[in-house]
Amino acid sequence: MSVADTFKLQPSTQLQGSFRVASDKSISHRSVMFSAIAEGTSHVTGFLEGEDSLATLGAFQAMGVKVEHPQSGELVVHGVGLHGLKQPDGALYLGNSGTSMRLLSGLLAGQNFPLTLTGDKSLSSRPMRRVTIPLQQMGAEVHSNEQGTPPLEITPSKGLHGFHYALPVASAQVKSCLLLAGLYAEGETCLIEPAPTRDHTERMLRSFSVDVQTDGNQICLQGGATLKACDIQVPADISSAAFFMVGACIAKQGDVTLTEVGINPTRTGIIDILKLMGAEIEILNPRQAGAEPVADLRIKSSQLKGIDIPEELVPLAIDEFPAVFVAAACAEGQTRLTGAEELRVKESDRIQVMAEGLQALGIDARPTPDGMIIQGGQIQGGKVDSHGDHRIAMSFAMASLRASGEITITDCANVATSFPDFIELANNAGLHIDI
């Protein structure tokens, strides 16, 4: 299903049903990357058929990796080993996917051929020095433009060397980039995080038989490890579940069960924040799907109250804050977010764009340098510009569950990057989205 540029939403009062949201984007990216450089044939189930993860898949196919696609969500990846990638015919175009670009910059820093990584207008404005500077300290020849943004030019280096590095910002993308470069480096690479971030890379590398050592906030691996093919199950994405979690909380008649959601403890900040706000959330049938913990989540209509969001939860919910802001707009009292300046360098400046959108719908939302102060109130009808940011568009769609009039959301095409079936699932559950 194609997603057009503008959503029009009539107010609705119910969000109900039991369903599986889109597969996890972070894990889908990594499943292709690691399978491609492994020895042997890996099988992936639950792969997200969204534009971002398909950009990663296309990049490896362009570098000579054979991938069979027997049916939707299934991949058979014939790994070429750590040094088996081939130079592509041209630049690798990665669309809107910051994960693809940042992780690939580390993985490709150790190759023996030059290449260029490019992206769309949004990706071309995102900061890349956070990966190019430490990669250069490892001996890599990886360079952005003068503004520190894409395209990235990668040329063969004289050899990468492991290093010990304290990450200046809590970023799973930077951490993963440097761990992937560490596979190609001589010696040990050790990274120290200022706060916990999603650990899908560490878990999946272990599934591929790489010895990754974690001690508190330090992660280490030795260069030259061989990845051995394995089977990967991709769970449903908690970031995609977040929209329906918030929707069920704020709907007058909300009762939603989301199946097979990844509940990796480095990603469950959204559950913790909503519970602190008074959300009624049950975690049912917890189990393992490969290296990742999953569960079914049941969420019911809740009387939410404003809170000061604990800063230690910010890295564990960084992608879910657009949805949290909508919950805060429907909560009684004031919600305050601090310590989230990272939101300003996502697909959009999510602090500014969400504040402007909430204000357009009649909510008192005041942006701050590192967060926002939101006073709960009555959401009005109005027009919101999502600035091409998929999470902004989907968050404001859920606001229609408490709106007094029609909401129009522009520039929504990028919803397909992470959640191709969003409109269908949302309308089946009770929203009224016209495209």
Q: Judging by beta carbons within 10 Å of its beta carbon (0-12, 13-18, 19+), is residue 121 exposed, middle or buried?
A: exposed
Q: How far apart are CA 353 and CA 358, in angstroms?
A: 9
Amino acid identity, residue 96?
A: N
Active site residue 421: no
How many helices (H) and strands (E) are present in the chain, helices listed first?
A: 12, 23
Q: What does 179-240 look like in DSSP terms, one character per residue?
A: HHHHHTSBSEEEEE-SS----HHHHHHHHTT--EEEETTEEEEETTPPPB--EEE--B-HHH
State whether the Cα torsion 418-423-428-431 is positive or negative.
positive
What is the C-alpha separation between 146 and 72, in angstroms, rounded?
A: 41
Half-sphere exposure (Cβ direction) of 217: Cα atoms closer than 13 Å: 12
Residues composing the chain = 435
Q: 237, 319, 385, 389: which one is catalytic?
A: 319
User: Given the structure tokens 């009062």, which residue do they identify?
Assistant: 13
Residue with tokens 């996917």: 97
* Residue among 224, 214, 163, 213 at smallest CA distance from 37: 224
Q: Is 248 left (phi over 0), alpha (psi -120 to 50) or beta?
A: alpha
How far is 418 from 49, CA to CA, in rounded Å? 8
Name which of 147, 183, 182 is nearest 165 in CA terms.
Answer: 182
What are the C-alpha distances in Å from 296 to residues 22, 233, 259, 280? Answer: 14, 16, 4, 14
In degrees rounded to 5, what are phi and psi of residue 116? -125, 135
Catalogue the active-site residues: 319
